[in-house]
């Protein structure tokens, strides 16, 4: 259970905050907002705040935010297995593998069957090699990949080994399929959408994504930003 109101000592000694990241917010924006709220509420000039695992702006769900002494745990928390739910839209691809960019190619979907789609998930479980999306924050030669992509510059991307322990389809209503995935750190669900489309001789992109679990931490125990604000002192306090 969360305290009714946090104290400044709570944040300094270390808090692990489970927040439900809103749609279209970056993880960095949510961290900045939390830091600003803490500083404003307690009348302090600085406090350590960081997150343990980025979520794309078009994704919602569980973001672990650490404060004070708990920021030392960020690397440990980043390594935990993660669970996602969401939707792939078949029959079309985008350069970013999600809705950040416009559709660039369309494909036939009439040949797709439920059996074929369910069987295709099996080739993506276990340890697999995955190419990160070119529209990502990964760095190459000091620049983020999306910087190259937005300028139309080609860049060679090396595959990375990731582990997917579970991948199931929970709804099939073509052109959409809903999914649930449990995977290791570094797995790109956008890349999984793109590769899944190829595997069924069609195209696909990620049209919605929600992170529901990190290790034993679940979205059911997460706070909205409004709930977090409620747990802060109603008036600014002095240190």
Per-residue H/E/C for 53-108: CCCCCCEEEEEEEEEHHHHHHHHHHHCCCEEEEEEEEECEECCCCCCCCCCCEECC
pLDDT in tens, the chain (239 residues): 344 689 999 999 999 999 999 999 999 999 999 999 999 999 999 999 999 999 999 999 999 999 999 999 999 999 999 999 999 999 999 999 999 999 999 999 999 999 999 999 999 999 999 988 876 666 655 666 656 556 666 667 788 999 999 999 999 999 999 999 999 999 999 999 999 999 999 999 999 999 999 999 999 999 999 999 999 987 655 54
34 lies in a domain?
yes
Same-domain status, 54 and 138: no
Same-domain status, 58 and 69: yes
Same-domain status, 149 and 176: yes
Same-domain status, 51 and 121: no
Same-domain status, 109 and 161: yes
239 lies in a domain?
no
Q: Which of 20, 56, 98, 195 is catalytic?
A: 56
Same-domain status, 106 and 184: yes
Mark whether 56 is an active-site residue.
yes
Same-domain status, 74 and 89: no
Q: How many residues does the chain have?
A: 239
128: containing domain:
82-214
DSSP 94-145: -TTSSTTS---EE---TT--HHHHHHHGGGGSEEEEEPPPSSSS-EETTEEH
52 lies in a domain?
yes
Query: How many structural domains comprise the chain?
Result: 2
Whole-model pTM? Answer: 0.90
What is the pLDDT at residue 116?
97
What is the pLDDT at residue 206?
98
Handedness of CA 14, 18, 22, 23 (dihedral sign): positive
3 lies in a domain?
no
What is the pLDDT at residue 214?
98
129 lies in a domain?
yes
Same-domain status, 149 and 164: yes
What is the pLDDT at residue 141?
58
Same-domain status, 210 and 156: yes
Residue 123 sits in a domain of what CATH number?
3.30.2350.10
Whether 203 contacts 94, CB under 8 Å: no
Q: How many H helices and E strands in the chain?
A: 7, 13
93 lies in a domain?
yes
């Amino acid at each position: 259970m969360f305290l009714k109101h946090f104290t400044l000592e709570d944040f300094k000694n270390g808090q692990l905050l489970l927040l439900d990241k809103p749609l279209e917010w970056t993880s960095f924006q949510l961290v900045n907002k939390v830091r600003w709220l803490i500083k404003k509420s307690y009348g302090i000039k600085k406090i350590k705040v960081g997150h343990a695992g980025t979520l794309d702006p078009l994704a919602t769900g569980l973001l672990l935010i650490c404060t004070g002494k708990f920021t030392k745990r960020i690397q440990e928390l980043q390594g935990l297995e993660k669970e996602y739910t969401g939707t792939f839209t078949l029959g079309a691809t985008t350069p970013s593998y999600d809705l950040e960019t416009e559709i660039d190619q369309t494909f036939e979907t009439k040949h797709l069957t439920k059996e074929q789609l369910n069987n295709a998930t099996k080739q993506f479980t276990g340890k697999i090699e995955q190419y990160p999306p070119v529209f990502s924050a990964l760095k190459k030669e000091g620049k983020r990949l999306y910087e190259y992509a937005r300028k139309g510059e080609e860049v060679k991307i090396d595959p990375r080994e990731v582990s997917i322990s579970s991948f199931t389809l929970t709804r099939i209503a073509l052109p959409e399929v809903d999914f649930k995935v449990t995977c290791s750190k570094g797995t790109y669900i956008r890349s999984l959408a793109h590769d899944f489309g190829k595997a069924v001789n069609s195209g696909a992109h990620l049209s919605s994504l929600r992170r529901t679990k990190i290790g034993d931490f679940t979205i059911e125990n997460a706070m909205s930003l409004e709930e977090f604000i409620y747990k802060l002192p109603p008036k600014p306090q002095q240190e």
